[in-house]
């Protein structure tokens, strides 16, 4: 079940400005209402295991809807059989994830001076977050790296010469990255999706309404879900991503407050994840490839995916399929 979330992204829409969400509680309430309606219309799916997945800023959306389901289920007429959640290169807890100075320096993308510049910027972002000025923090983050609304070259662009932070092997966005937009705008695809003649929204209006929320943390919700003991959580990261890199994801995971936090920090089990792939050979043989590395303790797994950037399914589709199939089947990595 694919959902254009929040309202105003993709083909979802609102006729009134007040219909746009301004925080994660509103985002989750809207999505929860849609899910309840879905299960009312299709009750045959109610007993199916239910998993929530998403990537990037869905690091906010996924915990928000999962926590809302968790809170509502006990008294709900329509219960959603939530089993787990998976987040890919997601922004969950900005103050414990958005650090770039050492990361860029260790990869040779900036020198000592550049490292100090990034340290100054990220310290300013963190100070604004701690002061509760989330829009101010976003403005600094946007100038440092994000570049969504900032009208000039970012610090990242100026110091690295790169204009793409989703895969450190690329300095420009690949032309093919927008092919999916051309596909979903086809009249035949729109007809199949029953969206009429509505244009595809790029999400900018949604982004503006959520500016005060982008750099707020949803880590407490994730901690509560882990503490519930009923849900498995997978945080996976393509190792080549710059914007929401694996080191930040691991640091965030190690900073989560829940009953198993100390065990995860000190005694988590690390395993090598192998994927068996069919080869285009005359003999039809297969080979086993190292796809990544998993760190697991209790219900929490942090997974590093090799040779992939911010969009793991686009960079490594075979491995991504194995990843989600293993997770939903309850298999180990």
Neighbours of 277 (CB within 10 A): 13
Which of 244, 247, 206, 218 shows the shortest CA–CA distance to 88? 244
Burial class (CB in 10 A: 0-12, 13-18, 19+), 119: middle
Kindly name the residue from 12, 56, 66, 217 that is annotated as catalytic. Answer: 56
CA-to-CA distance for 209 and 244, rounded, in angstroms? 22
Distance CA 149, CA 227 (A): 38
Q: 288-323 in b/e burial notation, b at 16+ Cβ within 10 A?
A: ebebbbbbbbbbbbbbbbbbbbbbbbbbbeebbebb
Please list, in sequence order, all residues whose beta carbon lies within 8 angstroms of the beta carbon of residue 36, skipping any fewer than 6 positions away: 76, 78, 80
* Catalytic annotation present for 209: no
Could you count the other beta carbons within 10 Å of the beta carbon of residue 251? Answer: 14
CA pair distance 270, 255, nearest whole angstrom: 18
Catalytic residue selected from 93, 101, 142, 241? 241
SS3 of 132, please? coil
**Residue 241 annotated to the active site:** yes
Cβ partners under 8 Å of residue 284, min gap 6: 278
The SS3 of residue 53 is: strand
Active-site pick, 60, 70, 209, 310: 310
Active site residue 310: yes
- Between CA 25 and CA 204, with CA 196 as vertex, the angle to 5 degrees is 40
* Residues involved in catalysis: 56, 241, 310
């Amino acid at each position: 079940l694919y959902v254009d979330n929040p309202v105003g992204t993709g083909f979802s829409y609102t006729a009134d400005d007040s219909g746009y969400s301004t925080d994660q509680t509103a985002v989750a309430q809207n999505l929860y209402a849609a899910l309840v309606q879905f299960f009312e219309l299709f009750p045959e799916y109610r007993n199916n295991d239910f998993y929530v997945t998403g990537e990037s800023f869905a690091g906010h959306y996924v915990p928000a809807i999962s926590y809302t389901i968790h809170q509502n289920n006990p008294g709900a007429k329509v219960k959603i059989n939530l089993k787990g959640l998976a987040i890919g290169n997601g922004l969950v807890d900005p103050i414990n994830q958005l650090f770039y100075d050492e990361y860029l320096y260790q990869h040779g993308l900036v020198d000592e001076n550049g490292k100090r510049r990034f340290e100054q910027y990220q310290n300013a972002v963190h100070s604004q977050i701690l002061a509760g000025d989330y829009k101010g923090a976003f403005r600094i983050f946007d100038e440092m790296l994000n570049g969504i609304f900032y009208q000039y070259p970012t610090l990242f662009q100026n110091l690295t010469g790169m204009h793409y932070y989703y895969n450190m092997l690329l300095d420009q966005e690949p032309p093919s990255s927008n092919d999916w937009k051309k596909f979903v705008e086809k009249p035949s695809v729109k007809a199949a999706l029953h969206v009429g003649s509505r244009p595809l929204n790029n999400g900018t209006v949604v982004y503006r309404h959520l500016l005060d929320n982008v750099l707020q943390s949803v880590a407490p919700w994730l901690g509560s879900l882990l503490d519930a003991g009923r849900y498995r959580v997978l945080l996976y990261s393509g190792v080549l991503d710059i914007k929401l890199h694996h080191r930040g994801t691991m640091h965030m995971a190690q900073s989560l407050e829940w009953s198993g936090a100390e065990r995860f920090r000190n005694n988590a089990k690390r395993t090598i994840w192998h994927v068996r792939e069919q080869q285009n050979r005359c003999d039809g043989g297969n080979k086993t490839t190292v796809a990544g590395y998993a760190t697991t303790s209790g219900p929490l797994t942090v997974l590093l995916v090799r040779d992939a950037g911010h969009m793991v399914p686009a960079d490594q589709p075979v491995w991504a399929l194995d990843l989600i199939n293993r997770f939903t089947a309850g298999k180990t990595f």
